[in-house]
Amino acid sequence: MARKKPLVVVTRKLPDMVETRMRELFETRLSHEDRPLTQAELVEAVRTADVLVPTVTDRIDAGVLSQAGPNLRLIANFGNGVDNIDVDTATARGITVTNTPGVLTEDTADMTMALILAVPRRIAQGIKVIEREEWHGWSPTWMLGHRIWGKRLGIIGMGRIGQAVARRALAFGMSIHYHNRRRLPAEIEEKHEATWWESLDQMLARMDVISIHCPHTPGTYHLLSARRLKLLKKEAYVVNTARGEVLDENALARMLEAGELAGAGLDVFEHEPAVNPKLVKSDRVVLLPHMGSATIEGRIDMGEKVIINIKTFMDGHRPPDRVLPSML
């Protein structure tokens, strides 16, 4: 007699080829509407599923997990970050959590580099001028920005994505600096010509561009606080493609409005999908709707990782991308 397939509940619409493969391998309940599940729908999902496949828009907290059914054994997150999941509570309840690391590295690094270029060169402002039909011809002193060649880039979080950004920025002639909890091996520093700063405060005060690449955890909430933002030079730029909660958005908006910072490029926000109105109105900011990892190739790779994690787990083995509380 064939073994019963596990019931896999997917909370959002995924690429067709990913959903089709899931249907072939598992008893899969797909989301036909591309919207976040309501709290009641999320609770129903954890009550019935053997495997839950959530995304960053699903808040799997202790309250939701307390209502999980006895069959829920795996939460296979469709995404790299797991700050949307209470991993401690899940682990305590015997539920394994996995994610999709690595597959978003190059896409997110590309978008980060795009913002590093766009903000100092005032690209978004230039687009608006064309759209509003306000361009009256070239002028030697109009729409002047700043070159990035020769500028110092301070990377907060020199993991996979941080290193991929460093590789790109180095090719654009930037000087690479970084802050990590732990210093990288000498060969990696040499590869990126990178300077390590044990003190984040000291690094911030000396950089021309700051790029955030650390996860959102209780320890990194508002890591770039109002106090730390005030350490930056008036001519500095801030780029965030990691998590909105790492940056004190209100403090950033106030400083930009007061001319205390040169500009910012943000792909993530503290209260998504809400965006601070002061940031929306500012000419010093380039804002994107959390699209740093939004490539067809990246989404398919994420789906394949999810499938491998589910299949490996259901075959009785440790999934390759298991997340433990100590990893956060």
List the catalytic residues.
243, 272, 290
Sheet holding 96-98, edge to edge: 27-29, 7-10, 51-53, 74-76, 96-98, 322-323
Rounded to whole angstroms, the Cα distance separating 104 from 275 reads 24
Pairing mode, if any, of strands 96-98 and 74-76?
A: parallel
Q: What is the largest CA-CA distance in the chain?
A: 79
The end-to-end CA distance of the chain, in Å, is 42
Contact of 77 with 57, CB cutoff 8 Å:
no
DSSP sequence for 131-185: HTT------TTSS-----TT-EEEEE--SHHHHHHHHHHHHTTPEEEEE-SSPPP
Residues whose CB is less than 8 angstroms from the CB of residue 32 and which lie 6 or more positions away in sequence, other chains included: 13
How far out from the chain centre does Cα 5 lie? 33
Rounded to whole angstroms, the Cα distance separating 184 from 248 reads 27
Residues whose CB is less than 8 angstroms from the CB of residue 162 and which lie 6 or more positions away in sequence, other chains included: 155, 156, 178, 211, 213
Contact of 283 with 256, CB cutoff 8 Å:
no
Query: Count of CB atoms within 10 A of residue 152's CB?
Result: 17
